[in-house]
A and B are shown apart, each in its own frame.
Chain A
């Protein structure tokens, strides 16, 4: 091999992420199921309220965050279960890369996977719930990205843990959902205000907590990940 140098932490992380995305791109099973779930749920939720009492635009934020959370869980579940079949995780662990880069790679892969779902789900939401496209929707996309960052940070770690337990995928929602609570409260409140056209100073406090959560949990989960692997 001519190119035998060992990549740095981020370089190795990108290689892990690229491997996961290549697998996903060739099979497309998880992506399609999560995507269909998201669009299906968006359309079903339309019929759970009385249109004459609550307008579609008023319930859009709530629907968006319920659907995002559960489609994210679908994506996160497969993150480490794809390594189980041929004990692919062992190959990752004997590779000359740090354990932090395995975590970061998995997290980057999951983030891109979830963003790809949102690229379809958010326009579908705007279409089904008659939301005006424009600056508001751009801000919503920004909030979604901040929320996804936190969800992926925590979810990737718990996905690695859950796959090694007797309950496997069943455990992931139970472990992650309590940790999604602050993300969802802040993201949903910010989205509601953005879509209602509220002034920026009423939105900013929610975003500050969201950003702080992202920073704290990206760092904490990266540091915690090596403890979840066999020593």
Chain B
């Protein structure tokens, strides 16, 4: 049939990209993080001032790094999409944003838990990082809701790319505003200066391993989510074919 040969063009392309979602790299990422926690729990000394609460930092700070990594990939891929109109860039942006919101949620959950122990309050608005993360969470949430509200693939890709790029422009403005807000009310945070870690060797090693483990996990999750997107589009294409027949 002529139609069969026409359709054949779409199927190999998609099935070429279709690969298992949970492969060795995914489990490697999970194993890295499990290994990190075993080290953080049993082989890293307690902080003399903060006690066990400081251990939250081994999940909190690396998650923040993972979140910023994922969100940056989403913004970058959105620019690539508007430039090249390649659906792979859109799929990668979608996957990164979804992984990004997971990591942002981890940051927003673990931050207040630590703050409650050290600051005596779950939430303080003058902490720039936490406040910025909250507003970033809102932007990424809007991005994902927008994606869910559009049926047409090309329109969804264009709209979400526009939102992601504007979101990237928004972040410096929120940062400046919150900075100005807290600078007028409070001196810089005095409890802790994470910019200049004066950590003893073992803790610093765990910390750096945390960054490495979370980066691997972040990329593994994005990769898995991307492959899921490929499979979804493949099923969508085949579903249309069946509807045609």
Contacts and interface: CB of A to CB of B under 8 A. Distances in A.
Interface of A: 154, 157, 161, 164-167, 171, 174-175, 177-179, 181-182, 185-186, 189, 205-206, 209, 212-213, 216-217, 220-221, 224, 227-228, 230
A182 B146 contact: no
Chain B facing A: main interface SS: helix
B145 A171 contact: yes
A10 B165 CA distance: 26
A45 B216 CA distance: 50
Given A165-B149, A175-B142, A181 B135 contact: yes
Interface string B150-194: 110001001101110111011001101110110010000000000
Nearest to B165: A224
Contacts of A175: 142, 146, 163
Contacts of A154: 166
Given A165-B149, A174-B142, A189-B181, A224 B162 contact: yes
21 contacts: A154-B166, A164-B155, A165-B150, A166-B149, A166-B150, A171-B145, A171-B146, A175-B142, A178-B135, A178-B138, A179-B166, A179-B170, A181-B177, A182-B174, A182-B177, A186-B180, A189-B180, A209-B176, A217-B166, A221-B166, A228-B159
A178 B142 contact: yes
Contacts of A179: 166, 170
Contacts of A228: 158-159, 162
B176 to A, nearest CB: 5
B173 A182 contact: yes
Given A182-B170, A213-B173, A166 B151 contact: yes
B106 interface: no
Interface of B: 82, 135, 138-139, 141-142, 145-146, 149-151, 155, 158-159, 161-163, 165-167, 169-170, 173-174, 176-178, 180-181, 184
Given A165-B150, A189-B181, A228-B158, A220 B173 contact: no
Nearest to B139: A178
B169 A216 contact: yes
A166 B155 CA distance: 12
Contact of B180 (A181, A209, A216): A209
Contacts of A165: 146, 149-150, 159
Contact of A181 (B150, B174, B184): B174
Given A179-B166, A181-B174, A205-B180, A164 B135 contact: no
A154 B165 CA distance: 13
B164 to A, nearest CB: 11
Contacts of B177: 181-182, 185-186, 209
A166 B169 CA distance: 26
Contacts of A224: 162, 165-166
Contacts of B158: 227-228
A193 B151 CA distance: 47
A206 B184 CA distance: 11
Contact of A177 (B138, B162, B176): B138
Contacts of A171: 145-146, 149
A205 B150 CA distance: 40
Contacts of B174: 181-182
B162 A182 contact: no
Contacts of B141: 174
A165 B138 CA distance: 19
Contacts of B169: 216-217, 220
